[in-house]
Amino acid sequence: MPVENSRISGFYKKSIEERVRLIKDLVGLSDEDIGVLRSWGNLDPKIADAMIENVVGAMSYPFAIATNFKVNGKDYLVPMVIEESSVVAAASNAARVMRKDDGIKAVTTGPVMISQIQLVNVKAPYYAKMKIIEYKEEILELANKQDPVLVKLGGGAKDLEVRVIGGPQGPMVVTHLIVDVRDAMGANAVNTMAEKVAPLIERITGGKVYLRILTNLAEKRLARAWVKVYKEDIGGEEAVDGIVAASDFAWADPYRAATHNKGIMNGIIAVALATGQDHRALEAGAHAYAARNGRYMPLSLWEKDEEGNLVGSLELPIAVGLVGGAVKVHPVARLAIKILGVETAQELAEIMAAVGLAQNFAALRALATEGIQKGHMKLHAKNIAIMAGASPELADKIADIMVSEGNVRFDRAKELLEELGHSSS
Ligand code: MEV
């Protein structure tokens, strides 16, 4: 039932303990519920409280390691955080058949973000565009004054592009500030720059600036990955043909492309969560990039080469950072970076692209051959058995029986639990 009144004044000012007590009273939580909120796991309450507002607890997700990854000739153990079964196993299995020839290849175009400044109320928008270009050096200089540290590291605002676009209320002049953010994800740096240069753009043009914010369509921060999978390592040319046909399906059909890309993001987002990245930014960037030509397309493509081997490639924006944000604050994210052993944001983006490609291969391979349910079902069945009250050991047995019967259901799990002589209470 919804709470009677959700209007709480100054909730953010209260201590965690006060917030918990308040919610307990409002919702009628039990002591057991409060116990769940009080088990903070590996996140210190003080850190959690500093990360976001209105904190009352923390939520743990499984933290796993995908094995077998070789990217650009280097071996990596890849931390992944995800709630979906089979993803980590699939990534590890895929990476195993991608180790030849130095493994998966990956590159990035550079840590370059774009910040947008929206200008309206200009009588002659194309002339205003030229005026902004005329003042380019002043604008870049002003932007760079906001972040001397970034400039010292070789980053900073490098260029600008100006577009005139039409809105329902008339034309707008949109300035793109092109910023090299080095090892940061860069949102704070580029948003600050955009805010600082906005008054100058207003002065130059006589117009009015409204929005000053980065675009998640980070088309200048692309990561690319490619790989050759030898046919004999995946059961011959029939498997190759099946994967190529699956890829063609996504190429031809946005309905399929959405799911195809979801499979890629299964891997990328799991690494993003483990390493404390802004995964919403990654999702937004990936899907906007997939639709950049007016029709939603797959981010990867699989082909057959002249020897009958499978070759795959992937390209998408990956805006990630190693400085600032949760990656530095959350102890598990810090540990994930240590396990992964990456030294730059670009290296992290390369690994993520490689994981996305491997994850995509695993999904297409399963879909084009035995289907994904067989692999999924065992873990799903085990989850159902645990929900029905089975111990982890017994859950394994019950899951096996339910899968072999083709009957994976909560009521069947309960029945089996009783048959096997255990109470589910
Ligand atoms: C499930 O999480 C992901 C897949 O649907 C991806 C795909 O269909 O390519 C298996």
* Residue-level pLDDT, tens digit, the chain, 425 residues: 688 899 999 999 999 999 999 999 999 999 999 999 999 999 999 999 999 999 999 999 999 999 999 999 999 999 999 999 899 999 999 999 999 999 999 999 999 999 999 999 999 999 999 999 999 999 999 999 999 999 999 999 999 999 999 988 899 999 999 999 999 999 999 999 999 999 999 999 999 999 999 999 999 999 999 999 999 999 999 999 999 999 999 999 999 999 999 999 999 999 999 999 999 999 999 999 999 999 999 999 999 999 999 999 999 999 999 998 898 899 999 999 999 999 999 999 999 999 999 999 999 999 998 887 777 788 789 889 999 999 888 999 999 999 999 899 999 999 999 998 654 44
Q: Is 85 in the pocket of ligand 1 (CB under 6 A)?
A: no
Per-residue pLDDT at 424: 44
**The domain spanning residue 402 has which CATH number?**
1.10.8
Ligand 1, atom nearest to 260 Cα? 9
Cα–Cα distance for residue pair 179/182, rounded to 1 Å: 9
- Nearest CA to 182 among 150, 214, 219, 222? 150
Are residues 244 and 353 both part of a single domain?
yes
The question of whether 75 is a catalytic residue gets the answer no
Residue 80 falls within a domain, yes or no? Answer: yes
Query: Has residue 385 been placed in a domain?
Result: yes
Query: Which residue has its alpha carbon closest to ligand 1 atom 1?
Result: 263
Neighbours of 341 (CB within 10 A): 12
Residue 425 covered by a domain: no
Looking at the structure, tell me whether residues 119 and 51 fall in a common domain.
no
Per the annotation, the verdict on 287 as an active-site residue is no
Selecting among 14, 136, 376, 397, the annotated active-site residue is: 376
Catalytic residue chosen out of the listed positions 147, 180, 183, 278? 278
Q: Residue whose CA is closest, atom 6 of ligand 1?
A: 263
Task: Please indicate, yes or no, whether residues 120 and 162 belong to a single structural domain of this protein.
Answer: yes
- Same-domain pairing of 319 and 352: yes
Sorted by sequence, the CB contacts under 8 Å of residue 91 that are 6+ apart come out as 66, 69, 78, 80, 267, 270, 355, 358, 359, 362
Q: Is the Cβ atom of 155 under 6 angstroms away from ligand 1? A: no
Q: Are residues 362 and 243 in the same domain?
A: yes
Query: Are 44 and 329 within 8 A, CB to CB?
Result: no
Domain edge (last residue) among 60, 81, 99: 60
**Tokens in use for 326?**
């949760």
User: Does residue 395 share a domain with residue 410?
Assistant: yes
Please give the distance, rounded to the nearest whole angstrom, from the Cα atom of residue 243 to the centre of ligand 1: 13
Query: Quick check: is 306 in a domain?
Result: yes
Distances (CA, A) of 342 to 216, 276, 281, 322, 345: 23, 14, 21, 9, 8
Q: Is 259 in the pocket of ligand 1 (CB under 6 A)?
A: yes
344 domain-assigned: yes
376 is catalytic: yes
CA of 91 from ligand 1 middle (Å) equals 12
Q: What whole-number distance in Å separates Cα of residue 162 and Cα of residue 117?
A: 9
The position carrying tokens 């030294």 is 343
Measuring CA to CA, which residue among 130, 142, 143, 114 is closest to residue 204? Answer: 130
Residue 283 lies in a domain: yes
Domain of 383 in residue numbering reads as: 374-419
How many domains does the chain contain in total? 4
Q: Which of 186, 214, 242 marks a domain boundary? A: 214
Does a structural domain hold residue 290? yes
Whole-number Å distance, alpha carbon 169 to ligand 1 midpoint, is 41
DSSP one-letter code for 123: S
Residue 387 CA to ligand 1 centre (angstroms): 25
Q: Is the CB of 34 under 6 A from ligand 1?
A: no
* CATH number of the domain enclosing 122: 3.30.70.420
From residue 336, alpha-carbon distances to 275, 279, 322, 339, 373 in Å are 6, 15, 11, 5, 30
Cβ–ligand 1 contact at 263 (below 6 Å) = yes
Q: What was the pLDDT predicted at 58?
A: 97
Specify whether 15 is located in the same domain as 164. no
Do 244 and 347 fall into the same domain? yes
Boundary (domain end) residue, out of 20, 44, 60: 60
Residues 325 and 382 both lie in one domain = no
**Rounded distance from Cα 15 to ligand 1 centre (Å):** 42
Side-chain half-sphere CA neighbours of 270 within 13 A? 31
259 and 322 together in one domain: yes
CA separation for the pair 290, 292 (Å, rounded): 6
Residue 51 lies in a domain: yes
Pocket lining: 107 vs ligand 1, CB cutoff 6 Å = no
Atom of ligand 1 nearest to the CA of 364: 9
